């Protein structure tokens, strides 16, 4: 008989304090960071050792140590001694950590489709089930139909306010090293810092006016103006603050980030965001299926094909 599955800490949901940052704010504070996304990406490809990330990334010891500490603290990595005398540690992805794969797959796919200069450097995706090059299609977990931003109804739930959904105000210097690494150049401009993340979230919630962005984010006007200009430069937003087709195509990353946040973190008042699929009426759970064979995608079933 196989051994019973081990139930460890990492299958539990983290209860957040009442009235404080909600799951969205916590997730944006963690994932709205270019180094963290790069570290997770390599972890999903099998890197477990400190030296492994040092080899793969132009990252400093201080930055890597800080990010690994944060990922461990929030339960995405488990720091495990794999050798004694001298004692050595490795960082294993927990279920919670592995659960970010749909977010990273969405980023990979978006960069492949919308950042032409970059596509040569980026590997393509092959689905192991059908053996074909594919792209992930966002579908509703309940009915299986493809879903876009206009197919969902809903918004903030009981713990959802703008204030509680904002990532906490840690000061971070711009990490130019990650930009040199250049893995997700435009994604970094979109979600590589907390203001951009929050602003993109607001745009997907239908915010259209400069003063509303400013009020909802409680952000200085100069900051809002700067980010909106960057979004327009990237062609994800029009000069009058509407998401373009390129901006709307980032939707799978946004909904998977919300889904991951609310799967692993919980505010006592209830969900931060509640969405229903308009067509089938069920609560929306994002899933991907293969664009070629239509089978539901699993994180381990995707190969990288050199571009």
Among 24-32, 137-145, 216-224, 248-256, which window interacts with Zn ion (CB under 5 A)? 137-145
Least distance in Å: CB of 148 to Zn ion? 12
Q: Does 305 bind Zn ion (CB under 5 A)?
A: no
Q: Does 287 bind Zn ion (CB under 5 A)?
A: no
Span of 13-21, 126-134, 171-179, 191-199 interacting with Zn ion by CB under 5 A: 126-134
Contact 23, 262 (CB under 8 A): yes
Could you tell me if residue 275 is left (phi over 0), alpha (psi between -120 and 50 degrees) or otherwise beta? Answer: beta
Smallest distance from Zn ion to CB 137, Å: 10
Q: Which of 140, 217, 253, 302 binds Zn ion (CB under 5 A)?
A: 140
Residue selected from 125, 261, 290, 302 as contacting Zn ion according to rule CB under 5 A? 290
Alpha helices in the chain (DSSP H): 23-31, 34-44, 50-56, 61-73, 95-98, 101-114, 162-165, 176-181, 185-191, 194-204, 210-217, 221-233, 245-248, 251-264
> Residue 159 or residue 291: which is nearer to Zn ion going by CB?
291
| Closer of 70 and 277 to Zn ion (Cβ) | 277
CB of 139 to Zn ion, least distance (A): 8
Q: Nearest distance from residue 102's CB to Zn ion, in Å?
A: 16
- The reply on whether position 137 binds Zn ion by CB under 5 A is no
| Only segment of 85-93, 111-119, 203-211, 290-298 that touches Zn ion (CB under 5 A) | 290-298
- For the bound state, the minimum distance from the C-beta of residue 118 to Zn ion, rounded and expressed in Å, comes to 24
Q: Which is nearer to Zn ion, 137 or 232 (CB)?
A: 137
- d(Cα 229, Cα 233) in Å, to the nearest integer? 6
Distance from chain centroid for Cα 186: 14
8 Å CB contact between 39 and 64: yes
| Lookup: tokens for 110 | 């978006």
Question: Regarding beta strands 136-140 and 286-290, do their DSSP bridges make them parallel or antiparallel, or are they unpaired?
Answer: antiparallel
> Nearest CA to 149 among 232, 236, 252, 231?
252
Q: Is 197 exposed, middle or buried (0-12, 13-18, 19+ CB in 10 A)?
A: buried
* 127 belongs to the binding site for Zn ion (CB under 5 A): yes
Please give the residue ranges that form the binding site for Zn ion (CB under 5 A): 127, 129-130, 140, 142-143, 277, 280, 290, 292-293
């Amino acid at each position: 008989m196989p051994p019973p599955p081990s139930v460890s800490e990492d299958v539990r949901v983290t209860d957040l304090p009442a009235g404080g940052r909600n799951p969205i704010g916590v997730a944006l504070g963690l994932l709205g960071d270019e180094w963290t996304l790069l570290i997770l990406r390599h972890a999903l490809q099998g890197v477990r050792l400190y030296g492994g990330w040092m080899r793969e990334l132009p990252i400093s010891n201080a930055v890597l140590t800080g990010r690994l500490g944060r990922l461990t603290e929030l339960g995405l990595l488990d720091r495990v001694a794999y050798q004694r005398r001298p004692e050595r540690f490795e960082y294993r992805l927990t279920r919670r950590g592995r659960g970010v794969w749909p977010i990273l797959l969405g980023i990979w796919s978006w960069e492949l489709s919308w950042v032409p200069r970059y596509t040569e450097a980026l590997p393509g995706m092959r689905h192991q089930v059908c053996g074909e090059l594919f792209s992930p299609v966002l579908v509703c977990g309940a009915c299986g139909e493809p879903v876009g931003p206009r197919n969902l109804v809903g918004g903030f739930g009981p713990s959802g306010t703008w204030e509680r959904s904002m990532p906490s105000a840690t000061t971070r210097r711009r990490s130019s090293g990650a930009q040199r690494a250049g893995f997700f150049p435009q994604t970094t401009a979109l979600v590589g810092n907390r203001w951009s993340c929050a602003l993109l979230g607001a745009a997907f919630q239908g915010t259209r006016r400069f003063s509303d962005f400013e009020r909802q984010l409680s952000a200085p006007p100069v900051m809002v103006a700067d980010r909106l200009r960057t979004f327009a430069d990237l062609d994800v937003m029009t000069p009058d603050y509407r998401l373009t087709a390129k901006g709307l195509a980032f939707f799978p990353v946004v909904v998977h980030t919300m889904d991951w946040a609310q799967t692993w973190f919980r505010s006592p008042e209830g969900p931060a965001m509640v969405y229903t699929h308009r067509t089938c009426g069920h609560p929306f759970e994002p899933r991907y299926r293969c664009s070629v064979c239509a089978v539901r995608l699993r994180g381990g079933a995707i190969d990288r094909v050199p571009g």
